[in-house]
Chains A and B, each alone.
Chain A
Amino acid sequence: MTTAPLSNRLYGPRGWACIAVFAVILLVVFPVLNLVVTPDSPFHVSAYWITLLGKIMCYMMVALAMDLIWGYTGILSLGHGLFFALGGYSFGMYLMRQIGADGQYRVNMPDFMVFLDWKEFPWQWTGSEHFWWCALLVVLVPGLLAFVFGYFAFRSRVKGVYFSIITQALTYAAMLLFFRNNTGFGGNNGFTDFKRILDYPITTPQTRMVLFVITGTVLVAMLLLARVIVTSKLGRVLTAIRDAESRVMFSGYNPLWYKLFIWTLSAVLCGIAGALYVPQVGIINPSEMSPANSIEIAIWVAVGGRGTLIGALLGAAIVNGAKSWFTMAFPEYWLFFLGLLFIGVTLFMPDGVVGLLGKIRNRFNAQRAPAALEKAA
């Protein structure tokens, strides 16, 4: 007798269809509309949109990472902006080295170092002229920091709001550190004025489109990875930790390693998102580490719907889409709107947009087939 076999499928046919449609839009439609269709055509997609969408896709990755640790494992991090920024800085070092002697001072050194009268690169910059080394740092720096921090926090069984506050303090401390010129990362100006990536000029439409396509592909890959995790037994252990950690322990699991795994993975995903963000947006500075930024990440996930991957993606897209529009139309009201949105979601949509859609669908189905519902009840 087999009872309720667990579904090992990643997605149903409809899920795969959605992903396929997304991939086609990303890999075919946008490149054609941006590069082939001429700017005077109404179908032309401008560079502004490509950059904006690329940026939002990076935020969607961060939301996905946040959802794994918060929505699925119940650990609210208010410091995920730090991992994002560290990934960005790691890759930014490479972009700074690629400027070469084209900076303002015409010296083979980043402008801020010349300005500070430094004669040689500080130790942190060792190897940063190599693409592969910086790409490795993108994964290693956030990963190692998260692993070490997480090991001590989870081993001491720091939980709930205490954990959130510590992560908040961590990102704040890092921000203050990066503001200092002596840290060697450009102080409050951070990195900007990038010229090249892998020796290709960074501002041409072709390079931008390649970055855009890579970002979209990485996003889909991350979604599938997250889906593999949450549909596995590992994922069920994670949600079990969220719901009843003591029962998990008394069932013979050590929650420490589970939390540490998902926490570190989440940080690495954020780091990768940051690395893809910097060349598209063209700047990284310590304000990315400000506590407000990290709180905003939590809001994206709450708006979309915690504990559903699609909810995290939707939340990041909706909030950031609204933000771009708002900051153009009514720049001074954006923060009020964000606050209202968070309060509204908490009060009226505890399961976010996805939960709301589910409710609407249920009501719709109930109206269409009241007889079936009565039968089920």
Chain B
Amino acid sequence: MSAMPPETQRESGDQESPAYGRVARPGVDTTHGAILYLEDITVSFDGFRALNKLSLSIDVGELRCIIGPNGAGKTTMMDVITGKTRPDLGTAFFGQTIDLTRFTEAEIAHAGIGRKFQKPTVFEHHTVFENLELAMKTDKRVWPSLRARLDSAQLDRIAATLELIHLAAQSTRPAGLLSHGQKQWLEIGMLLMQEPQLLLLDEPVAGMTDEETERTAELCNKLAGQHSLVVVEHDMDFVNRIARKVTVLHEGSVLAEGNMETVQNDQRVVEVYLGR
């Protein structure tokens, strides 16, 4: 580590200090403490209201779990945040200044929001290493890509991420040959390479074994504080293990919010979701 250039040291210093080390990064102004702010978001598909006046605010460094029955609007909410779906009404802000409803997917990703899909999507024909290389935060225009060469700091970053997601031994294998759980990790690793300030994880433990779920929970707990995380998950054990604050969605809007205990004892939540 001591041989690293100063630039890298600052980077790794960032990762150890919780949350506020990242606030000053140019681009996202989080002076009021919120990294993501949704207000009265409404999305309709052919008359069906997937989101109905949804309001939600995520603090810097927070780990928020979102739960809710099928069709509650969890994935649509992710789509709105990442620019895949445009809301009919409402405002969505990343930090104080970035209006998410006005940018494309690539611009939003570049601004610092990383998203893991429900179904793991990695580049199956590329090696694990190349997957991380492609995701890495760097100049992503055409010409710089043609001339890009990895420097030693970047190689170290990829190596560190490989360790973190337990895939160091697999780095030269094509990603398509990984197990389902490993692909989920690789996708999380790709998000981390983007150095996002906000991570959206859509069902990160779907299809994982108990042991893999355990390790993913560890990983999430490790990431909380360094990044802001929004986790959508059905697996209540997993949510229990990582949850600090939980938001329950139902029919496109927020039904309840609070710590796990409060939510679990909320009568309406029990009716629509937990009780069944």
**Complex alpha-carbon distance, A4 and B123, angstroms:** 17
**Complex alpha-carbon distance, A232 and B82, angstroms:** 28
**Complex alpha-carbon distance, A261 and B145, angstroms:** 12
Does any Cβ of A come within 8 Å of B115's Cβ? Answer: yes
Stretch of B3-11, B33-41, B101-109, B205-213 on the interface side: B101-109
**Residue in B104, B130, B140, B172 whose CB lies within 8 Å of A236:** B130
Find chain B residues with CB under 8 A from A229 CB.
146
**Complex alpha-carbon distance, A247 and B140, angstroms:** 14
Q: Is the CB of A2 within 8 A of B145?
A: no
Q: Is the CB of B106 within 8 A of A249?
A: yes
Does any Cβ of B come within 8 Å of A161's Cβ? Answer: no
Q: Is the CB of B123 within 8 A of A253?
A: no
Q: Is the CB of A3 within 8 A of B134?
A: no
Stretch of A51-59, A76-84, A238-246 on the interface side: A238-246
**Residue in B123, B141, B148, B172 whose CB lies within 8 Å of A244:** B123
Find chain A residues with CB under 8 A from B134 CB.
233, 236-237, 240, 248, 251
Find chain B residues with CB under 8 A from A236 CB.
126, 130, 133-134
Given contacts A4-B129, A243-B124, A261-B142, contact A232 B147 (CB under 8 A): yes
Given contacts A2-B155, A4-B171, A250-B114, contact A237 B105 (CB under 8 A): no
**Residue in B109, B126, B158 whose CB lies within 8 Å of A250:** B109
Q: Is the CB of A232 within 8 A of B148?
A: yes
Does any Cβ of B come within 8 Å of A252's Cβ? Answer: yes
Interface residues of B in 44-102 (CB under 8 A from A): 82
Q: Is the CB of B159 within 8 A of A2?
A: yes
Q: How many residues of B contact A (CB 8 A)?
A: 43
Q: Is the CB of A246 within 8 A of B109?
A: no
**Residue in A3, A6, A232, A252 whose CB lies within 8 Å of B140:** A252
Q: Is the CB of A237 within 8 A of B145?
A: yes
Q: How far is the CB of A236 from chain B (nearest CB, A)?
A: 6
**Complex alpha-carbon distance, A251 and B140, angstroms:** 9
Does any Cβ of A come within 8 Å of B276's Cβ? Answer: no
Does any Cβ of A come within 8 Å of B156's Cβ? Answer: yes
**Residue in B107, B114, B130, B156 whose CB lies within 8 Å of A1:** B156
Smallest Cβ-Cβ distance to A255: which chain B residue? B106
**Complex alpha-carbon distance, A145 and B131, angstroms:** 34
Q: How many residues of A contact B (CB 8 A)?
A: 31
Smallest Cβ-Cβ distance to A257: which chain B residue? B142
Find chain A residues with CB under 8 A from B159 CB.
1-3
Q: Residue among B129, B140, B148, B172 with the most chain A CB within 10 A?
A: B140
**Complex alpha-carbon distance, A246 and B106, angstroms:** 9
**Residue in B127, B145, B149 whose CB lies within 8 Å of A234:** B145
Q: Is the CB of A249 within 8 A of B109?
A: yes
Interface residues of A in 88-124 (CB under 8 A from B): none
Find chain A residues with CB under 8 A from B117 CB.
246-247
Find chain A residues with CB under 8 A from B149 CB.
8
Find chain B residues with CB under 8 A from A4 CB.
127, 129, 171-172
Which B residues are within 8 Å of any A CB, using their own CB?
82, 104-107, 109-110, 114-115, 117, 121-127, 129-130, 133-135, 137, 140-142, 145-150, 152, 155-156, 158-159, 162, 168, 171-172, 190, 194
Complex A-B: 18 CB contacts under 8 Å = A4-B129, A8-B149, A228-B146, A232-B145, A232-B146, A234-B148, A236-B130, A239-B126, A243-B126, A244-B123, A246-B121, A247-B121, A249-B109, A250-B114, A250-B115, A251-B109, A254-B106, A257-B142
The 5 A-B residue pairs with the shortest CB-CB distance, nearest first, are: A252-B109, A233-B148, A234-B145, A252-B110, A249-B105
